[in-house]
Structure 1
């Protein structure tokens, strides 16, 4: 959003128009825009209001009802932390005894909102002037939070009375491309890590693809998923690393449930066993896989890998676990297009869920080649078993056999 659009939205007329808009509907947006212009509203204001209405609707998935009172930029919303995850961040600082947090890359203020909501005092610093203005508006209901436009690394943490630091460095270029080199983050990762020498209670939110070899030895590294979607890697230091250095996976659900799996159990030392596919197949959560904790899942379900390099676990019996989705194995066969097509047609399969791991097959292309016809549904898993491409016919546990 440019400054002129923001100024128009923040005017009494602009705020009233935004508040009066109906729930956003992409199909009706053009018609609504034309009607508002005919009613005499400034075209620039109409465009800005409809853009915010669209972004608010999109933000509902991350921020729930709080989104209805906030303003966004597309890039800011993309990087904003989901509220359920931000609440976990805030809980760490409160548990560690922190009283004032400096959020050095506050963006639109999602994390700062969670911090302030728990009673923490917050200094939210944002380098982009427009984004800082939006963060100020978004945090207007939280007197515990102060927003400052500037360079987060230039803040005198000691003078500000800060005893906890948080940062979510930008990992995209101005053109939207992903940045994979930590030295090219904004701010650079090494500069942020150096802050723990001044304030030991340091927390960083990074992308989940950071390799294990690049992780500081003194960090508690926690990969987080929400309803199966891996959303971040959190690095926690000092008193924020309540369980000490190591790797962990945190699984959060929309229903408020959570589960944590940590590395280091004696039963999971070394590589998990590998063996043939049995009665049940387990697909570990993405956060578990990113954290390198598939061996822990294999131990929990008394299972083994179907292939040394594939994160599928098989077991002779059903062992419910929050860390993996369980499937009942109905059939298996070596992968072959003609054989699979014949198999599915014999069973009149018209709707097919295709899961894959360790294969170059493109599911949508395969679905077209299978030319499905029928009224029944099925789920198949394309993967390697003992180094060979196989098809496993499965059904999620809980459905009828």
Structure 2
């Protein structure tokens, strides 16, 4: 969407058109565009409206119903914080007693919405002019928020008591892995805590532990099993002090795993149950704490699977009942599954180079039954574990013990 398209979209007629469009359907987009242009609507307006309709449909997974009243850029939507996660960010600032937050990289304004929604005053900066204009539209219902088209690192922070930043980590469509190449560079943002100790950063979850600042509370966040970010929190925003933790958001519930020190788990034989730790837990290096919770052990010193002899569940892992195990071998596995009439197979893997889709083709599955297998190492050997998910009722009963 160019400036002309945005201008036309923000007119009363343009906004009415966007509001009147049917739910986005890729198959119908071209015929709809042709009809609208034939009715005399400007091509730039039609293109902008359909682009926003498509982006709004995608945005609902992150922003829910709020998406229907917002505008987006593709890059802005890609980096936007999920509303559920942004709410946790905002509560950190509110609970720390802060009142005025500067968002140095506001993008389309998702985090600013959450900050303003808990009553914080927000000065939001965005270096890209069109994105700043879109953020202004998105924040029109929040008088607590002010959007500035400027470089956030140049903001006057004299009356600010909290700072937030989500540096851009893509360039030319590719992901940037060097923190010095972030926009703005990570070191430049970290220096802000010398002026405003209450600093929060949203980063990609792949950063190595050795690269984390020693004074940071690092929290990896997952939403329904998808690891979405690493939050770094400093000063009053980290009342628990420096360290590593995991925030697991699933089914509308929030669970935090934040040990004083990561636990060490021993390695042992496969038991009756297998626990697959959440990705946020794995990224945080807290698999040992999951083992502690379920009174289990690792199946291999380098593999993030935990096994136990009794059913003990935790919100930080998915639990399976072990049905069978065998050394990995294509012929053996194919025979095993065919004898049981398995036609639909879920393949989970860790610590093996096997490609699940390639293996599925090689197995030539036939039948009506379903099965789940785990490909991993047991006692240093490539193995297959046949499992079934523990039923919610069984998990609930185990949790009551």
Residue 261 of structure 1 pairs with residue 254 of structure 2: no
Residue 162 of structure 1 aligns with which residue? 160
Cα offset, 1:217, TM superposition: 0.8
Residue 276 of structure 1 aligns with which residue? 269
- 1:362-377 to 2 correspondences below 5 Å: 362-377=355-370
- 1:127-166 to 2 correspondences below 5 Å: 127-158=127-158, 161-166=159-164
Residue 82 of structure 1 aligns with which residue? 82
Any gaps of 5 or more consecutive residues in structure 2? 395-401
Residue 123 of structure 1 aligns with which residue? 123
Q: Distance in 1 between matches of 2:369 and 2:129?
A: 56
- 1:300-315 to 2 correspondences below 5 Å: 300-315=293-308
Q: Distance in 1 between matches of 2:246 and 2:259?
A: 9
Residue 394 of structure 1 pairs with residue 387 of structure 2: yes
Moved over 3 A (4+): none
Aligned-partner SS, 1:141 = coil
Q: Distance in 1 between matches of 2:347 and 2:340?
A: 16
Residue 186 of structure 1 pairs with residue 183 of structure 2: yes
Q: Distance in 2 between matches of 1:264 and 1:355?
A: 31
* TM-score w.r.t. length of structure 2: 0.97
Residue 354 of structure 1 aligns with which residue? 347
Q: Distance in 1 between matches of 2:21 and 2:367?
A: 45
Residue 398 of structure 2 aligns with which residue? none
TM-superposition CA deviations, 1:126-156 (whole Å, max 9, x none): 0000000000000000000000001111011
- 1:243-262 to 2 correspondences below 5 Å: 243-253=240-250, 255-262=251-258
TM-superposition CA deviations, 1:208-243 (whole Å, max 9, x none): 001000111111000000011000000000000021
Q: Distance in 1 between matches of 2:167 and 2:393?
A: 47
TM-superposition CA deviations, 1:66-106 (whole Å, max 9, x none): 10010000000000000000000000000001000000000
Q: Distance in 1 between matches of 2:2 and 2:355?
A: 41
Residue 286 of structure 1 aligns with which residue? 279
Residue 172 of structure 1 aligns with which residue? 170
Residue 204 of structure 2 aligns with which residue? 207
Residue 72 of structure 2 aligns with which residue? 72
Residue 397 of structure 2 aligns with which residue? none
Q: Distance in 2 between matches of 1:197 and 1:325?
A: 41
TM-superposition CA deviations, 1:304-358 (whole Å, max 9, x none): 1101100000000110110000000000000000000000000000000000000
Residue 53 of structure 1 pairs with residue 49 of structure 2: no
* TM-score w.r.t. length of structure 1: 0.97
Residue 318 of structure 1 pairs with residue 315 of structure 2: no
Give the root-mean-square deviation of aligned CA atoms.
1.2
Q: Distance in 2 between matches of 1:293 and 1:29?
A: 46
Cα offset, 1:43, TM superposition: 1.6
Aligned-partner SS, 2:228 = strand
Q: Per the alignment, do residues 400 and 150 of structure 1 end up closer, same or farther by CA in structure 2, a change over 3 Å counting? A: closer
Cα offset, 1:400, TM superposition: 11
Aligned-partner SS, 2:257 = strand
TM-superposition CA deviations, 1:348-398 (whole Å, max 9, x none): 000000000000000000000000000000000000111110000000001
Aligned-partner SS, 2:175 = coil
Task: Count the aligned residue pairs.
Answer: 394
Cα offset, 1:399, TM superposition: 7.8
Q: Distance in 2 between matches of 1:110 and 1:264?
A: 32
Aligned-partner SS, 1:7 = helix
Residue 235 of structure 1 pairs with residue 232 of structure 2: yes
Aligned-partner SS, 1:105 = coil
Any gaps of 5 or more consecutive residues in structure 1? none
Aligned-partner SS, 1:112 = helix
